[in-house]
Amino acid sequence: MTDELARRIADLMPLAKADLTELVSIPSVADPRQYPPEKCREAAQWVADAFTAVGLRDVHLAETPDGSHAVLGHRPPPPGAPTVLLYAHYDVQPPLDDQAWTTPPFQLTERDGRWYGRGAADCKGNIVMHLTALRALGDDLPVGLKLVVEGSEEQGTGGLEAYVSSHADELHADALLICDTGNAAVGVPTATTSLRGVVNVVVTVTTLKGDVHSGMFGGPAPDALAALIRALDSLRGPDGSTRIDGLDGDGSWDGVGYDEQQFRTDAGVLDGAELPGGGSVADRLWARPAVTVLGIDCAPVVGSAAAVPATARARVSLRIPPGTDPGAARAALVAHLRAAVPWGAKVEIEPEQSGAPFRAATDGRAYAALDKAAQEVYGKPLAYLGQGGSIPLCNVLASTYPGTEIILMGVEEPACLIHAPNESVDPREIEHMAHVEALFLRHYAAARR
């Protein structure tokens, strides 16, 4: 039976490529300042039509509180069978620098065995994975299904999170497949069991009533940018580790590790550049807080004057591991920055996005069924991985549906370069993970009988 299912999925791969070609061609960036909102609506309707064609019922677009549209649908379970929710998102990150792409970002292009294009992996590749699994099963669907495909995940505006809280019955299921992550590497079946939370703030430092001539006043005149740099530098210890007063910076990761050389390759670390911090790469990625300066506002190099800057500001992001409260983390970050700004400078700190970390319970029937499916497809047991990114929806789902198993999986392995120029997906991952998903639905139905 497994061999027959594998053959069906292999035969469906040309259709999977055609699907992804169409989806990638729609620039569904959920930011009206950059792309027309109707492109997101077009992508949403494409998704709705595709899932209607594979047998889901009442597939429709639901407006969420942030103005985006989620695609919702369902298929009732056979008598006594469980229901599984399938999640993905159709919105994508902007392509950033078009000139950095080898081929056009919104044109699916095959190169060196991979399919390139914005959203090819994150997360349109996962939409195609779902469709391929359901097409392979056809009418032989052993579980009930609920579908939600989000339209503003990349913008972090919380539309679906707010929708869930007021439509809990509509999305309730026995197991949730959150397909917006992926394997540790191509060919290594993996479930993501840990997500870091995030706390973002904007810190503004002001020292003077206005910029003054550096020749006449430089030296004793307090330099706002220099004061900001001092404060930002204090967020790291001598070895580069994140060190924020009041936060534990020495956690350890007990799941699958991350080879340092592989990390250097995946992250594009230059030869000779050192990795900051101590402990293993996995410790630093998934078990410890990590601070990043996302941007700085001050005079640009080109066009800058010989002046002491009066004001400078920075956007600071703090990723936090499971077990850390985001409110406490924000308070610690704010207090640290205030104390670290020198020379009595005026400090203003504006809170931005925050999200709690997440850790999945892995001892239930759904994880057992997924492990069985992974071993049948990949010939090796399921690995457990942390992820440095944040998916706030997971915490909303966990609190709304306590006791429901939440599985994070998908096609987004490290070589995909999600969010970066030249994003791609390995079509073997779409094929094999669609096979895993289809087998999971069978095994989970059998385990629940």
Of the listed ranges 10-14, 117-121, 195-199, 242-246, the one predicted with least confidence = 195-199
- pLDDT > 60? residue 82: yes
Give the type of residue at 300. Answer: P
Contacts of 300 (CB under 8 A, 6+ apart): none
Alpha carbon of 408 to those of 8, 167, 212, 282: distances in Å? 25, 22, 53, 18
- What pLDDT shows up at residue 302? 92
Residue indicated by tokens 């699994």: 133
- What pLDDT shows up at residue 105? 97
Give the type of residue at 92. Answer: V
Is 423 marked active-site? no
In degrees and rounded to multiples of 5, residue 81 shows phi and psi of -90, 155
Alpha carbon of 41 to those of 31, 97, 130, 226, 334: distances in Å? 12, 24, 20, 46, 39
Q: What is the pLDDT of residues 214-238, one digit of tens each?
A: 999 999 999 999 999 999 999 999 9
Is 153 marked active-site? yes
- What pLDDT shows up at residue 406? 96
- What pLDDT shows up at residue 449? 66
Contact between residue 217 and residue 225 where contact means Cβ atoms under 8 Å apart: no
- pLDDT > 90? residue 291: yes
Q: What is the pLDDT of residues 135-160, one digit of tens each?
A: 999 999 999 999 999 999 998 788 99
Going by pLDDT thresholds of 50, 70 and 90, the confidence category of residue 1 is low
Q: How many other C-beta atoms lie within 10 A of the C-beta of residue 146?
A: 20
Contacts of 64 (CB under 8 A, 6+ apart): 70, 151, 152, 159, 160, 162, 163
In degrees and rounded to multiples of 5, residue 323 shows phi and psi of 100, -10
- pLDDT > 90? residue 388: no
Tell me the C-alpha distance between 275 and 284, whole Å.
10
CB-side exposure of 233: number of CA atoms within 13 Å?
8
Of the listed ranges 36-40, 153-157, 275-279, 435-439, the one predicted with least confidence = 153-157
Of the listed ranges 51-60, 87-96, 155-164, 287-296, the one predicted with least confidence = 155-164
Q: Quick one: the chain helix, strand, coil %, rounded to 5?
A: 35, 25, 40
Instruction: Give the rounded percent of residues in the chain with a pLDDT score beyond 90.
Output: 85
Q: Judge if pTM exceeds 0.75.
A: yes
- Show the tokens assigned to 129: 């994975």
- The whole-number average pLDDT for the span 270-274 is 96
Q: What b-and-e string marks burial along 199-228, b requiring 16 or more CB atoms within 10 Å of the CB?
A: bbbbbbbbbbeebeeeeeeeeebbbbbbbb
> How would DSSP label each residue in 42-106?
HHHHHHHHHHHHTT-EEEEEEE-TTS-EEEEEEEPPPTT--EEEEEEE------S-GGG-SS-TT
- What pLDDT shows up at residue 56? 97
Q: Which residue among 91, 283, 426, 437 is the active-site one?
A: 91
- Show the tokens assigned to 89: 């998102």
Q: What is the pLDDT of residues 393-441, one digit of tens each?
A: 888 899 999 989 999 999 999 899 999 999 999 999 999 999 999 999 9
- What pLDDT shows up at residue 337? 98
Q: What b-and-e string marks burial along 270-288, b requiring 16 or more CB atoms within 10 Å of the CB?
A: eeeeeeebebbbbbbbbbb
- What pLDDT shows up at residue 353? 73
Q: What is the pLDDT of residues 359-386, one digit of tens each?
A: 999 999 999 999 999 999 999 999 998 8
Q: Give me Rg for the CA atoms of the chain.
A: 24
Distance between terminal CA atoms of the chain? Answer: 20
Contacts of 150 (CB under 8 A, 6+ apart): 68, 70, 87, 88, 89, 90, 91, 159, 160, 393
Tell me the C-alpha distance between 77 and 32, whole Å.
39
Alpha carbon of 225 to those of 110, 294, 337, 349, 392: distances in Å? 46, 15, 14, 15, 33
ω into 123 cis (within 30 of 0):
yes
Regarding beta strands 83-89 and 190-195, do their DSSP bridges make them parallel or antiparallel, or are they unpaired? unpaired
Contact between residue 310 and residue 224 where contact means Cβ atoms under 8 Å apart: yes
- What pLDDT shows up at residue 141? 94
CB-side exposure of 246: number of CA atoms within 13 Å?
15
Residue whose C-alpha is closest to residue 56's, from 71, 40, 35, 39: 71
Q: Which residue among 122, 150, 153, 431 is the active-site one?
A: 153
Q: How would you class 238 by CB atoms within 10 Å of its CB: exposed for 0-12, middle for 13-18, buried for 19 or more?
A: exposed
Instruction: Give the rounded percent of residues in the chain with a pLDDT score beyond 70.
Output: 99
Residue indicated by tokens 């970390």: 357
Going by pLDDT thresholds of 50, 70 and 90, the confidence category of residue 266 is confident
Give the type of residue at 165. Answer: S
Q: What is the pLDDT of residues 232-250, one digit of tens each?
A: 999 999 999 999 999 999 9
